[in-house]
Amino acid sequence: MEIIDNRVEKQRQLIEKLQQRNVKLERFYDEYKRVFRNEGERIKELNCLYQVAQYVVIESDTDAALDKIVRIVPHGWQYAKESCARITFKDNQYLSPGFFESGVVQSERIFVETVIVGAIEVFYKPGLASESDDPFLIEEKNLLKGIADIISFYLEKQRDNENGKLIQQQLLHADRLATIGQLAAGVAHELNEPLGNILGLAQLSLKLPEMPDQAQKDLEKIEECVIYSREIIKKLMEFSRQSPLSKEKININEVIDNSITFLEARCIKEGIEIIRQYTENITVTADPNQIKQVITNLTINAIQAMKNGGKLIIVTRKNSKNAVLAIEDTGIGIPADNISKTFMPFFTTKDVGEGTGLGLSVVYGIIRNHNGDIKVSSEPGKGTIFEVCLPLEEN
């Protein structure tokens, strides 16, 4: 009896030991599964991040890069098959294949410098987790933040590239205008003297007694043509910075008001509302007549661009270095192809007799002669802004 009891007791102990070992094994197996799964997840996440980084290095087109990124994003998530992603940037959306929207979502904002320009979101299918539970892992939250940061970096790089190109184009443009200026100055100078002689002789001849009627008419025509030609030469000389400056301290708002008074009646007649947005007390040292010329030429162009009425907005402001004067219209705008040509002498889209194509060349010459700068931005069908910068008096 005692022997049997001992055997039962031993078996019981053995079972207990085995049970304990089993529990340990189960724990070990659970731990093994957890670690293994975690490692699998981490590898997926790293792979996703690596691919995103690859795209931003090799892809120079923003649309193509964002499209590739959004396709790869869901692969980095735990429930890859039940997830999808969306990138929003400005007015565009980039979607991963089979996109759906649901309340189970994780999102990060995309910045360029400090400005929010878009967002990246990852959605899980509804029902995968109750909407109050957060099914996303901490690592997935970090991953999304990392991807958003890479996209921000990429967009900043793209913007810098664009700015670089623009500056290069502007330099090329300024160079070309300088060459045209030199050429124009040379021609203008050569023509000015003989034209002066022709004018003088025509005017002398007109004073001759007993001039036949026809000859009188012809001489008057010659006089008229020479005066017109000299006007053009004067404009060319202004463009090529050949005309002397007579600088004084001027209040920019006053000069604007003086320049546009004679255009106000025309604006009312043509249904154009003038809106003044002035900053007080902006003084620059400049030639008042030439600045008047700038304002007049820009304003006339703006009026001519608003055949069906509109708004003429005149803004003055200053920044640390410059007085800024902007003339904005809501007219026909300038097609992108023409923007770089607008300051070229004789470039005009107006009918014969309506424009010589020298107005903006003169403006350009005057502004450069004052060590200033002029920029144009336009949207066809919406309007145009010309922005003039002149160094502030205190500089």
Ligand X SMILES: Nc1ncnc2c1ncn2[C@@H]1O[C@H](COP(=O)(O)OP(=O)(O)OP(=O)(O)O)[C@@H](O)[C@H]1O
H or E, element range at 88: strand 83-89
Count the site residues for ligand X by CB under 6 A: 22
Site residues (CB under 6 A) for ligand X, limited to 366-385: 384
Is there a contact between 91 and 63 (Cβ–Cβ < 8 Å)? no
Q: Which does 87 bind (CB under 5 to 8 A by kind): ligand X, Mg ion, none?
A: none
| Closer by beta carbon to ligand X, 56 or else 332 | 332
Q: Is 350 in the site for ligand X (CB under 6 A)?
A: yes
Does 348 participate in binding ligand X (rule CB under 6 A)? yes
Q: Rank residues 84 and 272 by Cβ distance to Mg ion and give the closer one.
A: 272
Give which of 353, 116, 127, 386 is closest to 228, Cα–Cα. Answer: 353
Residue nearest to ligand X (CB): 359
Q: Which stretch binds ligand X (CB under 6 A): 160-168, 282-290, 314-322, 324-332?
A: 324-332
Output 118 or 181, the one with its CB closest to Mg ion.
181
Q: How far is CA 89 from CA 71, 155, 193, 235, in A?
A: 15, 10, 61, 47
Which residues lie near Mg ion (CB under 5 A)?
301, 359
CB atoms near residue 231 (< 10 Å) = 12
Residue 332 CB, nearest distance to Mg ion (Å)?
14
Q: By CB under 6 A, name the one of 184, 255, 360, 388 that touches ligand X.
A: 360
Binding partner of residue 48 among Mg ion, ligand X, none, CB under 5 to 8 Å per kind? none
Interface stretch with ligand X, choices 167-175, 200-208, 219-227, 332-340 (CB under 6 A): 332-340
Q: Which stretch binds ligand X (CB under 6 A): 9-17, 137-145, 258-266, 342-350?
A: 342-350
Cβ neighbours of residue 377 closer than 8 Å, sequence gap 6 or more: 384, 385, 387
Instruction: Output the smallest distance, CB 384 to ligand X, in A.
Output: 4
Q: Does 342 bind ligand X (CB under 6 A)?
A: yes
CB under 6 A: which stretch of 74-82, 116-124, 265-273, 344-352 binds ligand X?
Answer: 344-352
Exactly one of 82, 140, 238, 329 binds ligand X (CB under 6 A); which one?
329
Residues whose CB falls within 8 Å of the CB of residue 63, separated by 6 or more in sequence, listed in order: 92, 94
Among 349, 371, 381, 395, binds ligand X (CB under 6 A): 349
How far is the first Cα of the chain from the last one, in angstroms, to the nearest whole number?
Answer: 116
Q: Which is nearer to ligand X, 81 or 350 (by Cβ)? A: 350
Instruction: Count CB neighbours of 88 within 10 A.
Output: 18
Distance separating alpha carbons of residues 69 and 74, to the nearest angstrom: 10
- Contacts of residue 16, defined as CB under 8 A and 6 or more positions apart, other chains included, come to none
Q: Are 366 and 293 in contact (CB under 8 A)?
A: yes
Told to check if 229 binds ligand X by CB under 6 A, we report: no
DSSP notation for 120-146:
EEEEE-TTSS-TTS--S-HHHHHHHHH
Q: Which does 302 bind (CB under 5 to 8 A by kind): ligand X, Mg ion, none?
A: ligand X
**Beta bridge mates, 316:** 325
With CB under 5 to 8 Å by kind, the binding choice for 358 among ligand X, Mg ion, none is ligand X
CB-nearer residue toward ligand X: 251 or 296: 296
Q: Check residue 358 for interaction with ligand X (CB under 6 A).
A: yes
Contact 65, 55 (CB under 8 A): yes
**Burial (0-12, 13-18, 19+ Cβ within 10 Å), 362:** buried
Which of Mg ion, ligand X, none is residue 323 near (CB under 5 to 8 Å by kind)? none
**Number of residues assigned to the chain:** 395
Q: Which of 84, 282, 332, 367 binds ligand X (CB under 6 A)?
A: 332
Q: Phi, psi (5° rounding) for residue 220?
A: -65, -40
Give the β-pairing of 310-318 and 272-277.
parallel
356 binds ligand X (CB under 6 A): yes
Please, which of residues 299-318 interact with ligand X by CB under 6 A? 301-302, 305
Q: Whose Cβ is closer to Mg ion: residue 94's or residue 343's?
A: 343
Q: Kindly list the residues in this chain that would bind ligand X in the complex (CB under 6 A).
A: 297, 301-302, 305, 329, 331-334, 342, 347-350, 355-361, 384
